[in-house]
Structure 1
C-alpha cells in the first residue's frame, strides 16, 4: 500500500513508457492533460556491448531509477516480451525487463503491461500494424521535435500513449 506522502510526491498526469531491451531501452515520458497527451522526454538508452552482462543490467536499472526519481510518474507502462527465435536474445531481454520491473516495484509505482498487439491496436486501430504505421501515428498523436530516433524510442512513446488511452482515466489514485 502506498503512503499518502508518496502519493503526494507523484505527478498523477505523468506516465513513463518503456520498451525493454538489453542493448537498447526505449524510454518516454508523457503528460496526460484534459485535451491531449504531451511528450515531455524520450530517449533510447544504450548499454555498451563491451561491458559484462551484469554491468549492463545494472546500468539499465540505474537509468530507470534515475528517470523515475526525476519525473515522478504515477504509472509506468511496459511492453511485454514478444517471443524471439533467438533464445539468447530473448533471455537477455527478459532479464533486462526483470530489472526494469524491479525498479518500478521498488519505487512503489502503478505498473501497466501491454503486449505489442494491444499497443498497435491502441495507436493505429489495427493490431498487426507495421513499424512505419505505428511511427506515423505516434507523430500525429504527439508533437515530436524532429530528430533521429530508434524504433525503441517510438515504441516507448506508443506504450505510454496506450496506457494513457486505456487505463489512466480509471486508475488515478
Structure 2
C-alpha cells in the first residue's frame, strides 16, 4: 500500500512544486515604476567612468609603446653601426623602413583609442616623427639621419614625460 500512496502523491507534489515555482518567478520578476536618476549625477558618473577608462588605456598604451618601438630602434642602431663601419646593408635598411612603417601604423591606431588628449597628441607627434625617420632611411639621406633621430628621441622623451602621469 505504501507503494500506491507514494505513486498517487507524485502528481500532487509536482503540481504544488510547479505552482510555487510559477508564483516565485512571476512575483520576483515583476517591476513597477520607472527607473530614474538625477541627470547631473548620471553625467558625473559617466564622466568619472570615461576618465577611469582613459587612464587604464593610457597605462596600457604607455607600457606597450616603448616595447613596440624597442625592436625598430635596435634595428636602426644596427643600421647606423653598419653605415659607420662603411658597410651599408640594403637588407637592413629595408628591415628598418618596414619596422618604422609598422611603428607608424601602430602609433596612429593607438592615437585614435579612448585615451587622454595629451597622450593622443603625443602619439600623433611620435608617429609623424617616426614616419620622417622612415622616409630618411628609405631615401638613403645619410645627412638627414642624425636630425631625424634627434627629433625621434625628443618625441620619445616627451612621450615618456606624458606617460609618467599615467604609470604607477
Asked if these proteins are the same fold (TM beyond 0.5), I'd say: no
Q: Which has the higher strand share?
A: 1
TM-score, with structure 1 as normaliser = 0.26
Q: Which has the higher helix share?
A: 2
- Specify which structure has the bigger relative contact order, considering alpha-carbon pairs within 8 angstroms and separated by 6 or more residues: 1
Q: Which has the larger radius of gyration?
A: 2
